[in-house]
Structures are given as structure tokens and as C-alpha cells.
Amino acid sequence: MPTVTMNINGRQMSANVENRTLLVAALREDLNLTGTHVGCDTSQCGACLVHVNGKAVKSCTMLAVEADGADVETIEGQANADGSLNVIQQAFQDHHGLQCGFCTPGMVMSAAALLKENPKPTEAEIRNHLEGNICRCTGYQGIVNAIMAASGQSVAMAAE
């Protein structure tokens, strides 16, 4: 079986996988990084969203062998160095951006990708960016509020 080596959250990690192994399966089952979730397994829901070479991708729709040599960021790498929640994670907690929490890893990674490209998004831009992330609990308003707050903008603005 091929060996795939990735730099995941700043650490070199390797796994022996089949060619058909999906990136999300390699992360969860071979490397025990179970923070990345499998929701629909059909690239609709975004629960499996991670960053590969700085780009948000759905890890259920990419082969692990395609990520060989890549830099990968997952939800496990998002917390601050001291273990405290980073600004996006904290905003999700503060603004009721989650209920059951299943979609949250993908939501946080998607939000991180957005804020990297667009540090002060409008509410419309946030909603547009989240088209590929499905949440069945919150009705999205809490998530949108959290991303507004994480980008240092007034949350009242998002509620208008």
C-alpha cells in the first residue's frame, strides 16, 4: 500500500493507505484525527471540510494519495498554542453558532478560509461562502453572527 506523508497542523504524519482511501478516512481512521466529520459523504454538507495547501476542500471528495506531500489543516490545529479556543471557535461558543456540533468542524474551517481571503465580510458574503456547509440545528443565524463577531464586526449588523 502507498505511504502518504502530509504536514498536518504543522506536524509530519504518515499513513499507509489504499489508493482508493479518501482523505477524510485517512485523517480519521489512520491518523486518529476524528475532529473532521463525515456527514453526507457526497460533498454536499461540508462537515469534512479541511484546508489542503491553504485551500478549503471537502476531504470526502479527495483521495488521500492526492494529498501526499501537502500541508493540511484540520480542526485539531485551530486552537491557540495554550489550548484555549481561537477567535473563531470562541465566537461560535459566544454566539450560539452550534447546537449539536456535528457540522461545527467544517463550519469553523470554512469560516477560517473566508476570513483569510476576506477579513471583513458582509453578511451576504458570509452566507454565500457557507453555501457548501449545511447545519440542521441553528438556522444559520448564530453561525453568521459568530463569523461577524470573529471578524471584529458588530453582531447587531448581522441580525438586521
Partner 1 sequence: MYNFEFSNPKTIENATKALSSEDAQALGGGQTLLPTMKQRLASAEVLVSLSGISEMVGVSQSDGTVSIGGATTHAEVARQSREAYPALAQLAGKIGDPAVRNRGTIGGSLANNDPAACYPAGALASGATIQTNKREIQADEFFRGMFETALDEGEIITSVTFPVPEVANYQKFEQPASRFALVGVFVAKTSGGVRVAVTGASNNGVYRWREAEAALSTDFSASAIDGMSGDPSDMIEDLHGSPAYRAHLVGVLTRRAVSSCS
As a dihedral over the C-alpha atoms of residue 132, residue 85, residue 81, residue 15, rounded to 10 degrees, the angle is -40
- In the three-class reduction of DSSP (H, G, I as helix; E, B as strand; rest coil), residue 79 is classed as coil
Cell numbers 506523508 label which residue?
A: 5
According to the binding rule CB under 8 A, does residue 131 interact with partner 1?
yes
Stretch that binds partner 1, among 27-35, 57-65, 80-88, 96-104 (CB under 8 A): 57-65
Contact 46, 133 (CB under 8 A): yes
According to the binding rule CB under 8 A, does residue 24 interact with partner 1?
no
> What is the spatial distance between Cα 43 and Cα 112, in angstroms, rounded to a whole number?
19
Stretch that binds partner 1, among 59-67, 72-80, 136-144, 145-153 (CB under 8 A): 59-67
Give the residue with the Cβ less far from partner 1, 77 or 132.
132
List interacting residues with partner 1 (CB under 8 A). 2, 18-20, 22, 41-44, 46, 49, 55-58, 61-63, 65-66, 110, 113-114, 129, 131-133
